[in-house]
Chain A
């Protein structure tokens, strides 16, 4: 019995070190990206507000609980109280959370309304999901192409060392101009996919037969990587999204190099 008791004490200590240890280990990313759009920054701030709010509530609630566990234990020779209700206190802890929730919902509503406002866009990209690649069509600029995973099978099957952007690299990146409001029209040709780029805070389902709208205005040039976020079959884990945001002049140059008048007919042939 004594051995088990001691073991249990050690397990308690191990628990505390696991919780704190796991938070510190690794040095790999553990939080949401603030991203590169105004919206993604707002989303990040809301995430952090909600997180710290939860931390504060947790400290108060668990603090009271652990104090009680420490102080109100039979082994300390306490006699139990007999109270079992209090309308006042029950009303208080119903109303306070209600007020906190209303405070939290106001900025959330504001951000959501902004996210849904696709008016006054500068350009439109139609995104179509296929099992298992993406097709991008620049509606105004006449560019269109497919974009699929560029990581070689040898890396996936562990025959070769994995590259830096393992599973997050594509053959043809989606090129967008910096500072422009880009509207995305998102749909699918087979099953439901979801187009997600964390740095743009855009995640929208691609539903066959329906067109969803989203938008983003990237504030900084750079390469932003994401993935399909809705289970779409065998290679769901292997259809990344890569967006390359470039200065406007560079984007214009890229359009000139890649625009092909026949692209519309080619696309029609593929979708058939």
Chain B
């Protein structure tokens, strides 16, 4: 920031070097930066938890941790990665990019923006502190199914309160995105001219607003069941434990699209740039995103095929779930048609985007298999499911976030990153992510249940393989940290367009982007 012309007061934060700048900032770029660094720190913490899990599973037998702590690790790892990494990282990207992409000076609700970020460190500090409480951290899985979750010790009310905070933060972030996109577009930026990243985030924001309160309701009912004598989920008192699962997954399934839709937007930005060809089927991309969002509300019980639903319920949720393959397929085909007869180069963001397409599709294939209810009786709650959702979340969402960072980093800090190291990061990540998660398909199909600290001998080789992969993947991400810090501190100066064929309003701004984006609205072609 200090390199920007000193005479122009408006291009400067009020107090560029003090902690107050970050505490009180209402600037969309500062808040975006805070979100992204927060997500990275949580990524390291959640990653260490994953490594605890993988270390215990390196060999059969109990070696390192108590089974209760192991369950606590699987629970916390999921909560950290979902609520602490992927969601904040996407909100960070939304903060940085949406105002620049639609020609706005900032987000619509800057003070709320500050609040929605600063809730998060407190929420996660509280969540992590439960590990040291009487009875240990939450160990009933991130899905919090009663009655098991009600056996949690002192940690339970703290876990629930911190999840309320996380929900509050994401709802406010979502309201801010909706208000910004609907009110602050530059004249001429019609909805169907918006970049797909903005579209996917707009739809994601509506999903968040729709389902986070449902989660809040469900976990509050857990709280009253535990402490205030209600029996929502207790059959002995006239309730039903399975009702919690319906409530949870009515939130939970849209939630998984919340974790992936912005990735579709990122990939739809990157592929056309490096293929030097406009995105194929823009309108069908928008409609496909809308269709996926709609379907996400009517497929929740495919997470519950084994709970004993009536046959008609099983069939409905099976058919609805299989339908999702259609709009998702449309997206994949559109990306490939964008690449077709383009003139491609393979800079790091493009590599991560291509990796995304291939490995997200692998996760999609196992998703299609899981949708078949009778076969799901064999897959359900095994490592096959673990492999499936890690394929869509790690080389899916996480790869898209990494691709986005490489793609827009020169715009954010004004310097290019090291292309050679970036490619090394891509190949290391791709090798190890597959070494970690591909063998999980095998042990899952061969009969290994998920969430167990110890396993039968026939699963040992592939578990060992997965553990080696997990350490490799974790360590590779430190290279990413080094790369980003190097680019922030030094590196070749980036031009304003950065990439030869990048299109969009953000590339009309200088690099680094000025503190306030568009004080006067840009002209839209």
Contacts and interface: CB of A to CB of B under 8 A. Distances in A.
Interface of A: 1, 4-5, 7-8, 11-12, 14-15, 18-19, 22, 25-26, 28-33, 39, 42-43, 46-47, 50-51, 54, 57-58, 61-62, 64-65, 68-69, 72-75, 78-85, 89-90, 93-94, 97-98, 101, 104-105, 108-109, 111-113, 115-116, 155-158, 162, 164-168, 190-192, 194, 196, 198, 201-205, 207-210, 212-213, 226-238
Interface stretch (B30-38, B203-211, B222-230, B278-286): B278-286
From B67, B308, B333, B455, residue with most partner A Cβ within 10 Å: B308
Interface of chain B, main secondary structure? helix
Interface bin, chain B: 35 or more
Contact of A14 (B151, B240, B431, B456): B431
B61 interface: yes
B308 A166 contact: no
A61 B332 contact: yes
Interface in B399-445: 420-421, 423-424, 427-428, 430-431, 434-435, 438-439, 441-442, 445
Interface of B: 60-63, 67-68, 71, 139-141, 145, 147-148, 151, 234-236, 240-242, 275-284, 306-308, 311, 314-315, 318-319, 322-323, 325-326, 329-330, 332-334, 336-346, 354, 357-358, 361-362, 365-366, 368-369, 372-375, 377-378, 380-382, 420-421, 423-424, 427-428, 430-431, 434-435, 438-439, 441-442, 445-447, 449-462, 465
Given A28-B458, A50-B375, A162-B457, A207 B447 contact: no
B280 A113 contact: no
B344 A72 contact: yes
A191 B343 contact: no
Contacts of B449: 196, 227-229, 237
Contacts of A57: 365
A58 B447 contact: no
A46 B375 CA distance: 7
Contact of A212 (B308, B323, B340, B374): B308
Nearest to B442: A30
Contacts of B278: 82, 84
A34 to B, nearest CB: 11
A4 B421 contact: yes
Given A97-B329, A162-B457, A231-B148, A31 B374 contact: no
A191 B151 contact: yes
Given A8-B427, A162-B457, A198 B447 contact: yes
Contacts of B151: 191, 233
Nearest to A169: B456
